[in-house]
Structure 1
Amino acid sequence: MAIREILATQERNKRAKGDKTYHLIVSFPEGEVPTREQLADIEDTLCAGIGYAEHQRISAAHTNTKHFHIHIAINRVHPRTLRCVEPFYDHKELFKLCRALEQKHGLQLHPMDGPALPGRPGDLEAHAGEASFLRWVKETAGVELVERAGKAASWGELHAALERHGLAIRPKGAGLVIVQESTGLAVKESSVDRSLSAQALTKRLGAYEPPPRAQTQGRSNGDSSQWGAAGDAARPGRGGYQRAPLHRHADSEVLYQQYQAQRETLVKARAAQRAALRQAQAEHAKELAAWYAARRAEIKRSPVLSAAERRHAYAMLAHQRRADAAARRQELARQRQEAAQQGLPTWQDFLMAEAGRGNEVAVAVLRSRSRRQRRMAETLLTAADADAARHIVYERLQPKAGKDGALVYRVEDGGVVSDEAAQVRVTAVTAGAAFLALSLADDRFRGQALVVEGTQAFRRQVAQLAAMKGLEVRFADPELERERARMAERMTHAEGSTTVAAFISRRNSMRDTVPSVDYTRLWAGSDAGPAVYHGRRRLQDGAEVVLLQRGGETLVKPVTPAQAAKASTWRVGQTVELDSRGRFLTPSRGRKR
């Protein structure tokens, strides 16, 4: 009904030929979900701020991505005046409104605040993880240029200041740009600082004047008096712009060198592939021309063809040649497209791929740039001194690495765990996800009391798992720590059973009060194969058993003293393999440090 009413209003405006619907998306940081009242106020404020307070609109909230967001479809045609309203420069007003709304409702601040650059340079840095030319100009020469522009009495003085950094000012379009002529890179002067805009400089220094001829000739002729024997790189601190990682980490330089070597190898391979394609195209064209020349010669020498038949044969041969050429062009286009699809990885892509392969140094470098704030009202585990956490990768579980260094694990029972810089967060809560998060937190925050946030059911489940799996953890919350101790004592009573059968029976009897306890049974020869090690227990009669988990069941396997000694070297979560006779084969490592 609402859509039909909007369409009817738009139909009454006959002058506007473009899109009559304005689409606004309001996205929130990962994990933040405002209340319905907050969303209503945010929608009303934003729409009114860009001139659409009285316009018809439809909004919908979506949770299909990591970021909760709302879509607002606004009818640009006013319901009474029927004018089609265009909100020019709306992004500036929307940004100011978003800042005010964040402060009003206590929401997280926009993640682009701070050192990030606006526009395309900022997009490049976010995508590639490398410092842009604009950042280099601002950090290397920005302060001096602003100071010199304010004091310079002529364009020559400003050119001299730029010359010291290997830069120059050139007119472009209706404005000016700062150019590094050795590379051809350029940025608008106003993007470095507003005092360097074309309008401000021409107002202060007069019409633009090119740099002196001596400087231009020295640069073009490689004059050593201007540039030194080795060019820009020869001047201390004036090496010119070069790509560099944004990640401020001690190990980033070593990894970046590996990335550059890998990229250079790929560049050479792609160049060789293109050269091979060009060579193959030239050879094929040469062979095709020779083949058709031979066919034309045969037609010409044929004693049986009449003049009309010879003309028809020539025409058919020409038609076939055009068809072959078109087919060859299509094949070459397909090959070039396949080669183009094998794009070069960015520095960010390289780090994510290395982190996904278990490179803990790459994980640390990725996390060094993370500016994510602490999430609230979520299911997560952390510690008081989270900055001292180790970087752990469970390579066997094949996590996916994000640009901020977060490792996302997907558990077989549908659970999802995100291992982030300062916390381990459970985005889809299941028993498997809770146990994985607890194991990660135990490894990363070893020796510290764990802080568990989330629902009461999740907190209790974590305490029960810590006791059941025999993990040597403690919790910062006294009540949660008492819950873990009570459960551990109950598990100790179960281990005090005189026989394996009594131990199994006692564990199964606990399932009525502790739903997270899996069904327990004795291991049999038919259970041969891989299983997940969940600890070992000593019974009252001195016998020892190991607990194995597979298919939602806990298997109890009696072991010999030698097997128990071998199991003492394993860690909970490792995959072990047994043959049909109950012998343990070499376990695969489930964790990597």
Structure 2
Amino acid sequence: MIATRIGKKSGVPDNYTRLGEYIAAAEEKGEKLHQFWIRNCDAGTKIEDLDLALLEIEAVRRQKPDIADKTYHLVVSFRSGEQDKLSKEDLMAIEAEYAKALGYSDHQRVAGTHINTDNFHMHIAFNKVHPETLKVITPHRDFKILAKVSREMEKKYGLAIDPGMTDGKARDPNKLSPAARDYEAHTWQESFQRHVLKHREEILEGLWKAKNWREAHEVLAGYDISIKLRGNGMVLMGPDGQAMKASQLDRSCSKKKLEERFGVFEARKDRRQAKSGQKVRTNHRYKPRPLVLHRNTPALWRRYLSTRKVMPRQPSLAARALRNWKMFLLMEASHDPLAMVLILSHKEFLSFLSTERTRAQETFVKGHKTTNLLYQ
């Protein structure tokens, strides 16, 4: 199962009625409605009650005129053939688990499942405005919630385990920028962005607790990260000059979001200017390391590092090549079988990442290729 929130497009009005009608109609070519239900509306629970239910939902939403985004649209994609394993009661129970975990158990919603050849998926349109309290609920770090519920439902109903695009393990390779992927493909060493994403949860937790820019800089410094202005946004910088957009770590780390919390950006003071006792310890330093860990890696990696240490300041072409772990392995392969083993391991790993990224993107596109039109 891949659970994905479909965000509202910037500049496009939030049209809940249009989305509800889309779910009920299954408008796409070759697509048909499988199951449909409505929750927490006095109008009823069936498809014939939809028109009245949408009027009821809109009446609640109109009481929050200042809120631009009042819809939480969730799409849950299943593997081919899994529709035969799940009854309507099962699907409703799965939907209820997502609602509970997101804080929407008592919220109005329209839900339905669509079948399009081998692509079976569920749409859930939550009204973020509570029908009684009128409190608007927006889940924090919902990707983690969605991944947790997905794994629980896969286990409970005997479904294929599919980490997809919301699970922590899948987010790492799929979130890497083209520059980071190119760095890893060229060097076979862990990119700075992978280092950051590996510690993502800890970093976000630390930033969430920070009260000002000084504390935010201290959190990031603990992972060998500095944050700087670049263009109209912010970037996270590594000690070797690699960089990634701050918003790639999380949307809450965009320049706009951080300045809303901490005020206008303040650069980190030079460590030499810091008072005694304020020096930040780097617990998770970013340093060159092999992209793939193998039982044969340590010995060759030590040899590689030793070779780099003794390289002359003005190295030859061969010596310059040895600054790169990939080139070192290729040069060693002619006389060291262990190097060839590592070469094959790295190629297999990079091929796996490419296949997984392509499959996740294809699954996402097949299931949601029309969502750009849903709010129009």
Larger Rg: 1
Settle same-fold status: TM greater than 0.5: no
Q: TM-score range by the shorter chain?
A: 0.3 to 0.5
TM-score, length basis structure 1: 0.28
